[in-house]
């Protein structure tokens, strides 16, 4: 394994830096004084595992964002990860139970002239004028747009736009959001 490869459970520089930034935010919001910040930041830079880093900030998160025992990721929507009990988003971690999930369609299927048909029409016009323009009648279906996945945890809204390449992919994402919403209601 290369020396800079991530090892599960081991803390990397990016995780240490993120923890120190979270500690700085706690100083800015008045939840941590400077002496405690210095002590925790030093421990963060010495931490070897992500568990050690999580312990440094566990008492700083508001009650609805306190870390809960997580498990394997069962669904991922861009930057939002869902486990059996928690949701991890860039803005924080919150329990899956009681969260509300929605999926909004912002995609469409268009009929467009493919690039190869345009090139054939232009090149063919030099050889067989006007007949080659029939290539421009060729159309293909292209799906463009995004699905917007929204999760609410009571105080925060987490939104991610997922690009859609075809209708089957869009339906799969919608079904996955439905599954997570059912888990949130049942948990």
Per-residue pLDDT reduced to its tens digit, 69-124:
567 889 999 888 999 888 888 877 888 888 999 999 888 888 999 999 999 999 98
Structure tokens at 60: 């700083």
Give Cβ neighbours of residue 67 (< 8 Å, ≥ 6 apart): 54, 58, 61, 86, 93
Structural domains of the chain, ranges and CATH numbers in brackets: 1-60 (1.20.5), 68-187 (no CATH)
Q: What angle do CA 142, 143, 147 make, to 5 degrees?
A: 170
Distance between CA atoms of 139 and 57, rounded to whole angstroms? 56
Is a pLDDT exceeding 50 seen at residue 66? no
Burial of 130 (0-12, 13-18, 19+ CB in 10 A): exposed
Q: Which two tokens stand for residue 69?
A: 């025992």
Q: How far apart are CA 173 and CA 175, in angstroms?
A: 5
Global pTM exceeds 0.85: no
Can you give the pLDDT at residue 176? Answer: 94
**Average pLDDT score over residue span 57-65:** 65
Kindly state the average pLDDT of the residues 37-63.
84
Determine the pLDDT at residue 138: 92
Cβ–Cβ < 8 Å for 64, 135: no
Q: pLDDT digit string (tens) for 117-161?
A: 999 999 988 888 888 888 899 999 888 888 999 998 877 788 999
């Amino acid at each position: 394994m290369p020396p800079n490869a991530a090892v599960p459970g081991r803390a990397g520089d990016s995780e240490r830096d993120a923890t120190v930034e979270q500690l700085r935010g706690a100083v800015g919001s008045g939840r941590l004084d400077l002496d405690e910040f210095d002590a925790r930041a030093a421990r963060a830079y010495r931490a070897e595992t992500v568990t050690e880093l999580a312990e440094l900030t566990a008492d700083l998160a508001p009650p609805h964002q306190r870390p809960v025992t997580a498990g394997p990721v069962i669904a991922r929507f861009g930057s939002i990860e869902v486990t059996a009990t928690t949701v991890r988003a860039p803005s924080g971690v919150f329990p899956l139970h009681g969260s509300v999930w929605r999926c909004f369609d912002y995609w469409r299927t268009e009929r467009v002239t493919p690039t190869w048909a345009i090139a054939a029409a232009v090149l063919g016009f030099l050889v067989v004028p006007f007949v080659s323009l029939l290539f421009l009648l060729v159309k293909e279906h292209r799906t463009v747009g995004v699905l917007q996945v929204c999760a609410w945890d009571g105080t925060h809204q987490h939104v991610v736009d997922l690009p859609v390449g075809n209708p089957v992919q869009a339906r799969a994402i919608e079904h996955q959001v439905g599954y997570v919403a059912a888990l949130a209601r049942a948990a």
